[in-house]
């Protein structure tokens, strides 16, 4: 039963990773378009609502599902006699996922600042931050597929 459930949990984990990363690609792009709006304007309020929905409907639930399902995969591996917790690639992957979770937190907090009318970052900074999910995804995929260490 653990082998069958492992495949379903793995599939669900990957599905929610895709949702989470897609949301993390979208959110900074929203901020780039939101940044030049006048605080309190109709357009500003529309961006605030779009960003809130993206965070509450896609990003936050997807991140929670990724973590829960990822930890379930580790547990199932342990129950099947595969000591996955001792593998270096998993430690590196977990470090990347923790960093990506921190990025998620930064992005969410930045949107809340913008909702209050504060625009702390420059356009260039937001454009650079928009690259973080792609780089993190590439590193994580290599770690999981190639398992270099």
For 44, the enclosing helix (H) or strand (E) is helix 42-53
pLDDT tens for 1-32 read 667 899 999 999 999 999 999 999 999 999 99
Binding-site residues:
13, 93
Q: pLDDT band for 40, please (50, 70, 90 cuts).
A: very high
Whole-model pTM? 0.92
Q: How far apart are CA 33 and CA 93, in angstroms?
A: 32
List CB contacts of 73: < 8 A, sequence separation 6 or more: 6, 9, 10, 13
pLDDT tens for 59-116 read 999 999 999 999 999 999 998 888 899 999 999 999 999 999 999 999 999 999 999 9
User: What pLDDT, on a 0 to 100 scale, did the predictor assign at position 1?
Assistant: 66
- CB atoms inside a 10 Å sphere around CB 125: 15
Binding-site residues for heme:
13, 93
Q: How far apart are CA 136 and CA 13, in angstroms?
A: 16
Q: How far apart are CA 66 and CA 71, in angstroms?
A: 8
Q: pLDDT band for 123, please (50, 70, 90 cuts).
A: confident
Q: pLDDT band for 122, please (50, 70, 90 cuts).
A: confident
Q: How far apart are CA 109 and CA 60, in angstroms?
A: 13
């Amino acid at each position: 039963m653990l082998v069958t459930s492992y495949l379903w949990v793995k599939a669900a984990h990957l599905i929610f990773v895709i949702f989470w990363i897609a949301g993390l690609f979208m959110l900074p792009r929203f901020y780039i378009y939101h940044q030049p709006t006048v605080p309190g304007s109709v357009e500003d309020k529309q961006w605030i609502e779009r960003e809130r929905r993206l965070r509450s409907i896609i990003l936050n639930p997807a991140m929670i599902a990724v973590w829960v399902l990822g930890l379930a995969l580790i547990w199932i591996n342990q129950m099947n006699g595969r000591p996955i917790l001792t593998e270096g690639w998993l430690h590196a992957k977990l470090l990347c996922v923790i960093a990506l979770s921190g990025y998620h937190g930064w992005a969410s907090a930045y949107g809340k600042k913008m909702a209050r009318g504060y625009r702390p970052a420059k356009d260039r900074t937001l454009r650079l931050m928009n690259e973080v999910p792609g780089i993190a995804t590439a590193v994580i995929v290599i770690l999981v597929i190639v398992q270099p260490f």
